[in-house]
């Protein structure tokens, strides 16, 4: 056993194989992370808010976990593969990463994994990423030397914007989602809509103490 582990250590530490071994580890890490994140979330949400038998709910949890893990593992493989290819296709910069390689690799992976399917899990991942990109873009917009108008933003104004960016983002996000839920609920994702119905609509209806405080309905 020790001899086998020693041989494996020799293989995985071979610098010539590093780019390809990185693909395997990216797939591994994507699958593990997806499973770790999705399993507890699906377990809680499905067992609390979905109807059905224990067997049916367990199957839903496992399916959601598998899909999330597969999505992240597949994206990681496509992204790392594309980065490896792009690094070596430009004859003038062979072996060097281009400034926009990550953008095009992400574009390819995003389309292949998330753009061609409309499952609720894929939508949740994309929306999560989109929200983080918006926050990052807001920070970059006031960073020095990022665009032609950067010089017009004084350090004092930059500090003020950074201090108030999150309160504004949080307030507007909730303002818009409550407005949409109130007047156009059919446009929201089913998981978000059901949770909002539970909190904000069902709380208007009861006919006894039992379904006022102990049970929802």
Whether residue 118 has pLDDT greater than 90: no
Residue 4 is predicted with a pLDDT of 81
Name the least confident of 99-103, 139-143, 180-184: 139-143
pLDDT of 58 strictly over 90 = yes
Helices (H), 50-119: 54-89, 101-109
Task: Kindly report the average pLDDT of the chain as a whole number.
Answer: 89
User: Degrees (nearest 5) of the Cα angle 59, 61, 67?
Assistant: 100
- Alpha carbon 59 to its chain's center: 23
- Give residue 151's pLDDT: 78
Cβ contacts of residue 57 below 8 Å, gap of 6+?
A: 46, 47, 50
Look at the alpha carbons of 71, 73, 79, 85 in this order and tell me if their dihedral is positive or negative.
negative
For the stretch 70-108, pLDDT in tens is 999 999 999 999 999 998 887 777 778 888 999 999 999
- Tell me, yes or no, if the pTM score tops 0.85: no
Average pLDDT over residues 174-188: 95
Distance from C-alpha of 101 to C-alpha of 85, rounded to nearest angstrom = 10
173 confidence band (pLDDT: 50, 70, 90): very high
């Amino acid at each position: 056993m020790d001899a086998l582990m020693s041989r494996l250590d020799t293989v995985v530490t071979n610098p010539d194989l590093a780019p390809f071994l990185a693909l395997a580890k990216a797939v591994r890490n994507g699958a593990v992370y997806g499973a770790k994140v999705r399993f507890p979330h699906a377990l809680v949400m499905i067992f609390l808010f979905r109807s059905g038998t224990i067997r049916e709910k367990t199957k839903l949890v496992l399916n959601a976990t598998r899909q999330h893990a597969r999505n992240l593992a597949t994206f990681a493989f496509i992204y790392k593969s594309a980065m490896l290819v792009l690094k070596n296709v430009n004859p003038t910069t062979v072996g060097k990463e281009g400034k926009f390689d990550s953008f095009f690799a992400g574009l390819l992976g995003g389309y292949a994994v998330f753009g061609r399917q409309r499952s609720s899990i894929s939508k949740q991942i994309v929306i999560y990423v989109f929200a983080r990109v918006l926050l990052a873009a807001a920070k970059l917009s006031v960073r020095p030397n990022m665009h032609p108008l950067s010089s017009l933003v004084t350090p004092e104004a930059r500090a003020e914007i950074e201090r108030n960016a999150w309160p504004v983002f949080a307030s507007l996000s909730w303002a818009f989602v409550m407005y949409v839920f109130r007047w156009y609920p059919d446009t929201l994702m089913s998981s978000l809509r059901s949770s909002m119905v539970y909190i904000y609509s069902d709380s208007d209806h009861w006919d006894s103490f039992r379904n006022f405080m102990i049970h929802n309905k």
